[in-house]
Amino acid sequence: MIEQLENLVRTGGLKAEPPDANESAGLLRSAVDRLKDAHNSALSFASRFDLAYNSAHALALYALRQMGYRSDKRYLVFQCLTYTADVSKTQIRIFVLCHERRNLAEYEGYLDVDEKLLAELLQATNALLEKISE
């Protein structure tokens, strides 16, 4: 696992950086708060999707930072979950798809309302939180 992360350092995808306890606590707190709010069905789809996506990203970044790495590329943080949190490829595909959908919404103003995908994102993020909390 470390070998693959070190390869990403050599190619410039990741930077080696020791974990920071305050940063880690903040990422975890933010992720938990956002995930809780994302489950609130009274909020709009767009809000819930944004909250769930950002919770997943904070958890993925937390896992990467715990291993002593950082990335400026949001999608790479998700792809590294195989090595940082032993997450299934199916879960990673969900996170990457949501990253693509988030980019469409952020940069092109198009958000595909897909309740099934939101449910899968919430489930995958809940599982990631459990994995990280072990």
* pLDDT tens for each residue of the chain, 134 residues long: 689 999 999 999 999 999 999 999 999 999 999 999 999 999 999 999 999 999 999 999 999 999 999 999 999 999 999 999 999 999 999 999 999 999 999 999 998 889 999 999 999 999 999 999 98
What are residue 15's phi and psi, to 5 degrees? -120, 135
At residue 48, the pLDDT reads: 97
Query: How long is the chain?
Result: 134
Helix (H) or strand (E) holding 82: helix 81-84
At residue 1, the pLDDT reads: 65
Amino acid (one-letter) located at 132: I
At residue 134, the pLDDT reads: 81
At residue 61, the pLDDT reads: 98
The model's pTM is 0.95
